[in-house]
């Protein structure tokens, strides 16, 4: 997966979409306009760039990345260029701080690829255009969401009840079984029958998991509470 190339493509597409209307509201991020979206994404880029460039073994403090209150797009674009330069010069196997079991620079390549893609979608939804998502990128992002974010969020948003939910991409190889326990979540890649199932294209599954579209574009079978539970736990 060309994560750095994805950051470049998606980062520039976000910038193009943002220029249409900086004051447009972002439907999937209540209380945000496009200007705030640009600041948030730029902060994420600067934060990850600092971790990788300095090979940090702990997260930067909040005052180490300062977000401007003017010329946010120029600051964002400069930060994107710096991020790409730093990532391309970095050894993906070097050890750095992350919030997952993967403690290498490659974690940040993947994370920023999906961070930037999701927020590019936000900018386009806010300003009335859409350029779609590549299926290979989407299926990789589904895996990241389920294997990295979902267990982490489950520890913070514990919900009672058990059950299994099968997710199935219909346009590319990609299947997962999500097992809900009492306040826990485990994910197993591969085909298996669950108490409920959600099927659709990888881009549609990706956007649904990240709360950027609802279930209407997907097929749902079995207990409807389980997809709703997955979204409540994994909401970002």
- What are the pLDDT tens digits along the chain (236 aa)? 999 999 999 999 999 999 999 999 999 999 999 999 999 999 999 999 999 999 999 999 877 888 887 778 999 999 999 999 999 999 999 999 999 999 999 999 999 999 999 999 999 999 998 889 999 999 999 999 999 999 998 888 878 889 999 999 999 999 999 999 987 899 999 999 999 999 999 999 999 999 999 999 999 999 999 999 999 998 76
**100 lies in the same domain as 193:** no
Rounded to the nearest 5°, which phi and psi values hold at 220?
Answer: -125, 130
**175 lies in the same domain as 95:** no
Tell whether 103 is covered by a domain: yes
Q: Is 132 exposed, middle or buried (0-12, 13-18, 19+ CB in 10 A)?
A: exposed
Tell me the CATH number at 201. 3.30.1050.10
Q: Which residue bears the tokens 């409807």?
A: 224
DSSP 3-state of 197: strand
**80 lies in the same domain as 117:** yes
Tell whether 97 is covered by a domain: yes
DSSP 3-state of 165: strand
Tell whether 35 is covered by a domain: yes
Tell whether 121 is covered by a domain: yes
**98 lies in the same domain as 26:** yes
pTM, entire model: 0.96
Query: What is the count of structural domains for the chain?
Result: 2
**89 lies in the same domain as 161:** no
**46 lies in the same domain as 76:** yes
- Quick one: pLDDT at residue 236? 64
Tell whether 134 is covered by a domain: no
**153 lies in the same domain as 123:** no
Tell whether 138 is covered by a domain: no
**123 lies in the same domain as 173:** no
**168 lies in the same domain as 82:** no
Structure tokens at 232: 């409540």
Beta bridge mates, 222: 196
Tell me the CATH number at 29. 1.20.120.450
Half-sphere exposure of 220 (CA within 13 A, CB side): 13
Range of the structural domain that residue 160 is part of: 149-234
DSSP state of 112: H
DSSP 3-state of 196: strand
Q: Which of 210, 212, 215 is nearest to 196 (CA)?
A: 215
Pair 218, 208: CB distance under 8 Å: yes
**58 lies in the same domain as 28:** yes
DSSP 3-state of 89: helix
**100 lies in the same domain as 10:** yes
**91 lies in the same domain as 156:** no
Pair 46, 65: CB distance under 8 Å: yes
Residues in CB range of 106: below 8 A, 6 or more apart: 3, 92, 93
- Quick one: pLDDT at residue 157? 81
């Amino acid at each position: 997966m060309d994560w750095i190339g994805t950051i470049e493509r998606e980062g520039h597409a976000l910038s193009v979409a943002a220029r249409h209307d900086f004051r447009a509201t972002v439907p999937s991020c209540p209380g945000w306009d496009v200007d705030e979206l640009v600041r948030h994404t730029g902060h994420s880029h600067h934060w990850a760039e600092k971790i990788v460039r300095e090979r940090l073994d702990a997260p930067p403090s909040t005052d180490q990345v300062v977000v401007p209150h003017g010329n946010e797009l120029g600051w964002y674009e400069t930060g994107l260029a710096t991020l790409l330069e730093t990532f391309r010069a970095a050894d993906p196997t070097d050890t750095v701080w992350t919030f997952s079991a993967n403690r290498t620079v490659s974690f940040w390549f993947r994370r920023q690829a999906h961070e930037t893609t999701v927020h590019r979608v936000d900018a386009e939804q806010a300003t009335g255009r859409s350029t779609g998502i590549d299926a290979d990128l989407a299926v990789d992002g589904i895996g990241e969401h389920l294997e990295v974010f979902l267990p982490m969020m489950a520890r913070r948003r514990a919900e009672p009840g058990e059950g299994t939910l099968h997710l199935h991409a219909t346009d590319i190889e990609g299947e997962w079984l999500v097992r809900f326990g009492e306040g826990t979540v485990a994910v197993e890649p591969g085909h298996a029958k669950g108490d409920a199932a959600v099927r659709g294209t990888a881009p549609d599954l990706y956007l649904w998991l990240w709360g950027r579209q609802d279930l209407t574009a997907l097929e749902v079978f079995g207990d409807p509470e389980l997809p709703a539970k997955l979204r409540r736990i994994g909401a970002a």
